[in-house]
Structure 1
Amino acid sequence: MDSLLDLSDRLYLDVADFAHSTPHWFQWLAEVWTEAGLLLFGVLFLAGWWRSRDGSSRLMALALLAPLATAFGYVVSEGLKSLIDEERPCRAVLGAPAALVECPPYGDWSFPSNHSAIAGAAAVALALSWRGMVWLTVPMALLMAFSRVFVGVHYPHDVTAGVLLGALVAFLVMRAAERPVRSLVETARSSRSSAVVWCAGRGPRAHAAPHASSHAHASPYASPHADRPERSRHGAR
């Protein structure tokens, strides 16, 4: 265990030295990304909900569960952090260069990384609710985790544990709650409240209804040849 922590210390120093060797604009981007990544995940949650309003009840249930599963990932991470009093590397590692951002106050412990837990949970939750998003969300989560080491406020093992913990919690919550939430969505879509229906979406029937209506208005007695021009009785001359 001590050897793994020593390895994490060395990796932290290597990343910190690398961070200080990069241009100021790159450092600024890393600082911004540690928080902006969370906002981008929030935007993706909203987009996932919106696109699911015309989808199946299962799709809507997963879209609604995605932010909830991410919140669970954060809660579990925060609970574990309160049990493990690991000091931040920006104070604990001797000889380390100054962090690029202000070192969190004493008592705001380091293990695991809450940012990384949220990122890992959001990446998995979005991938489960929005097929194909895994190619975007997983790189986003890994970049966010790395940025926490880059700016100097977490060890590599903090962010690794955070990503894995958040991803596991989100996966379990999505799987366990999918069926009951899907039932709630089906109930909401049959509600008499227009606000509730708008939030839950009308599902695939919203597209099927206009299509069926157009066929219903067509005359059942119309001849399939009605649009053809009438031939001359005497034929062509």
Structure 2
Amino acid sequence: MTIRPTDADVMIAHAIARNTAPAPEQIARGLTWGADEKVLLVLATAGWLASRGRGVALERAGNHALLVTVAASLLPHGLKLLFNQTRPDRLTVVGHLNGVSISGKREDAFPSGHALHMGALASAAATLPASARRIIQGLAVGLSLTRILVLAHWTSDVTAGFALGAGLERLLRLWTGYPVDDPQRSKAR
């Protein structure tokens, strides 16, 4: 199934392509690694190993984080088999003149896997205290936006990926039992 970018997607991508420069693009390209599935799989595996033998709540959180990361890594690959959408870096040639390089496979724009991971992270952070929650959710949104800035994805791909990730994380809570219901924490909200 072929998906076409919206008019707003095209307008945003062209504005980025016209106004980008090599330095900000390189910074965004470096930051986008923070949402890469390979990096996140290594971190989730290390977290899972570190949670072993540390109590039921931490083990449950480790199980949940690893399962969500694996599922969030597989889901976009499956969806990209069903949906074809040309990446904006292939359609905004002016971007290549201003520093934006080519990213990923040509027809794999929908959905953004990086944003899907970040949506899952932002959703899972909802169980944390307010200050930590805000920091993690802000970081997740910021890292997702880098995919738009490097013209790897249309804005709608990133929005859809983020929403899919949040939904996936909430769905997997039903299976993993994360978070453990803490009566004191419920009263503090």
TM-score tier (shorter) = 0.7 to 0.9
Match of 1:29 in 2: 27
Deviation at 1:145, TM superposition (A): 1.3
In 2 relative to 1, CA 72–3 (structure 1 residues): closer, same or farther, beyond 3 Å? closer
In 2 relative to 1, CA 45–121 (structure 1 residues): closer, same or farther, beyond 3 Å? farther
Q: Distance in 1 between matches of 2:8 and 2:145?
A: 16
Q: What TM-score, normalized by structure 2, do the two folds share?
A: 0.74
State the SS of the aligned residue for 2:122.
Answer: helix
Match of 1:164 in 2: 163
Deviation at 1:44, TM superposition (A): 7.4
Task: Confirm or deny: 8 A CA contact 1:120 1:165 kept in the other structure.
Answer: yes
**CA deviation map 1:68-104 (0-9, x unaligned):** 11221232222222111101111134x5421623333
Q: Distance in 2 between matches of 1:164 and 1:121?
A: 8
State the SS of the aligned residue for 1:97.
Answer: helix
Task: Confirm or deny: 8 A CA contact 1:121 1:167 kept in the other structure.
Answer: yes
Match of 1:74 in 2: 73
Deviation at 1:136, TM superposition (A): 2.4
Task: Confirm or deny: 8 A CA contact 2:68 2:168 kept in the other structure.
Answer: yes
Higher helix proportion: 2
Q: Distance in 1 between matches of 2:84 and 2:40?
A: 30
Q: What amino acid does structure 2 have at the position aligned with 1:103?
A: S
Match of 2:9 in 1: 8
Instruction: Note the residue ranges of structure 2 that are not aligned, 5 or more in a row.
Output: 181-189
Q: Distance in 1 between matches of 2:136 and 2:42?
A: 12
Calculate the aligned-residue CA RMSD, in Å: 3.3
Deviation at 1:58, TM superposition (A): 3.2
Q: What amino acid does structure 2 have at the position aligned with 1:31?
A: R
Larger Rg: 1
After superposition, residues 1-237 of structure 1 pair within 5 angstroms as 5-20=6-21, 24=23, 26-38=24-36, 39=39, 43=43, 46=46, 50=50, 54-55=54-55, 57-93=56-92, 96-98=94-96, 100-107=100-107, 109-128=108-127, 130-132=128-130, 133-178=132-177
Q: Distance in 2 between matches of 1:80 and 1:146?
A: 20
In 2 relative to 1, CA 11–124 (structure 1 residues): closer, same or farther, beyond 3 Å? same
Q: Distance in 2 between matches of 1:168 and 1:42?
A: 22
Deviation at 1:151, TM superposition (A): 1.0
In 2 relative to 1, CA 17–89 (structure 1 residues): closer, same or farther, beyond 3 Å? same
Q: Distance in 1 between matches of 2:168 and 2:26?
A: 31
Q: What TM-score, normalized by structure 1, do the two folds share?
A: 0.61
Q: Distance in 1 between matches of 2:140 and 2:52?
A: 23
Deviation at 1:158, TM superposition (A): 0.7
Q: Distance in 1 between matches of 2:70 and 2:40?
A: 15
Task: Confirm or deny: 8 A CA contact 1:70 1:170 kept in the other structure.
Answer: no
Deviation at 1:53, TM superposition (A): 5.1
Instruction: Note the residue ranges of structure 1 that are not aligned, 5 or more in a row.
Output: 183-237
> Identity, % of aligned pairs?
23
